[in-house]
Amino acid sequence: MASFPVTRLRRFRRTAALRGLVSETRLSLDDFVYPLFVCPGEGVEKPLEGLPGIGQRSVDLLCDEAEGAHRLGVPAVLLFGIPEEKDEVASGAYDDDGIVQRSLRALSERVPDLVLLTDVCLCEYTSHGHCGLVEGDEILNDVTLELLGRTAVSHAEAGADAVCPSDMMDGRVAALRGALDAEGFEQVPIVSYAAKYASAFYGPFREAAESAPAFGDRRSYQMDPPNVREAIRECELDLEEGADAIMVKPALPYLDVIRAARERFDAPLFAYNVSGEYAMVKGAAARGWLDERRAAVESLLAIKRAGADVIVSYWARELAEWL
């Protein structure tokens, strides 16, 4: 390639139309999943301080929000439930009449074409806030698997289009696959939060889902931030166990992990643009320190450029208005 002055890379940057023509990465609403929080009651919409624009909603208002987002072009939602009561064994997670199960039934009726994904985890339903059963200060692995399997089956029964285990117990994908198949749900895909890190960026989510651990932290089950080869092993194992898609989470601080997973695996790759990533931009924009729309679009583009096929983002609905 000839160099300057023959080659001038600025030529294609001169106008928006020229830039658009050679754009290597594009955002399409088709690739976005909108996370929603559902809480007990009726007519309830509780704003969340750390997640501006995202509230907890009772089933009726959840349906309105989901329908509105779907009408704007948002193809999928990811449901998180805040149960009436929490206990040691997370009963609300696998209750056929639980908050997520009721939402699924209502949503499948109200917005039949909307893709319904569910987060499968115990932390929103346990009194101690951990993602598994607890003995002393240990988070138990194998006994947790059975409850996760039951949770996934109850979601499938209530109309989930795919289930997304986010607990990070070893062997949960195989446990979910076994439980789903045993109940006749061999068609329900598993989107595994395969490389989920023990991250400070989940801060605002824990307020939203009321799931902060009452003691300790999640470092004995979620991944350690310095590791990327281990993330590949997590993905590999989950795919061997039957995951249909894998996820990296958080997204922006782990773009290298997204890239590594993309290069290594051909399964659909999700990335979760988590609460803290969203809150940082919202917070700075509220102070006039940066332009929210530009910062959001740039962040989401970076996640795509790194190799994600699907992005879970609290911006999904606003993005529908921006694009």
Instruction: Supply the residues annotated as catalytic.
Output: 196, 249
Site string for ligand PBG, 146-175 (x = CB under 6 A): --------------------x---------
Nearer CB in complex with ligand PBG: 274/300: 274
Total binding residues toward ligand PBG, as defined by CB under 6 A: 11
Q: How far is the CB of 21 from ligand PBG (least distance, A)?
A: 35
Cα–Cα dist 75/70, whole Å:
6
Q: CA of 191: how far to CAs of 83, 166, 184, 241, 270, in Å?
A: 23, 9, 18, 12, 8
Q: Of the candidates 32, 185, 205, 265, which one interacts with ligand PBG according to CB under 6 A? A: 205
Mapped to the 3 state alphabet, what secondary structure does 225-286 carry?
A: CCCCHHHHHHHHHHHHHCCCEEEEECCHHHHHHHHHHHHHCCCCEEEEECHHHHHHHHHHHH
Tokens for 3, please give them.
């160099």
Q: Is 32 in the site for ligand PBG (CB under 6 A)?
A: no
The one-character DSSP state at 218 is S
Residue 113 amino acid letter: D
4-9 long-range CB contacts below 8 Å, 24 or more apart?
none
Q: Does the CA dihedral 129-245-197-51 come out positive or negative? A: negative
Residue 131, interface with ligand PBG (CB under 6 A)? yes
Q: How far is the CB of 129 from ligand PBG (least distance, A)?
A: 9
The tokens for 107 are 């949503």
Instruction: Give the nearer residue to ligand PBG in terms of CB position, either 4 or 215.
Output: 215
Looking at beta carbons, which residue is closest to ligand PBG?
205
Binds ligand PBG by CB under 6 A, chosen from 32, 125, 202, 315: 202
Give the shortest CB-180-to-ligand PBG separation in angstroms: 19
The 102-121 contact track toward ligand PBG, x by CB under 6 A, reads -----------------x-x
Q: Per CB under 6 A, does 274 bind ligand PBG? A: yes
250 vs 248: CA distance, rounded Å: 6
**Considering the rule CB under 6 A, would residue 275 count as an interface residue with ligand PBG?**
yes
* Beta carbons within 8 Å of 240's beta carbon, 6+ residues apart: none
Measured from the CB atom, the residue of 79 and 156 that comes closer to ligand PBG is 79
Binding site for ligand PBG (CB under 6 A): 119, 121, 123, 131, 166, 202, 205-206, 218, 274-275
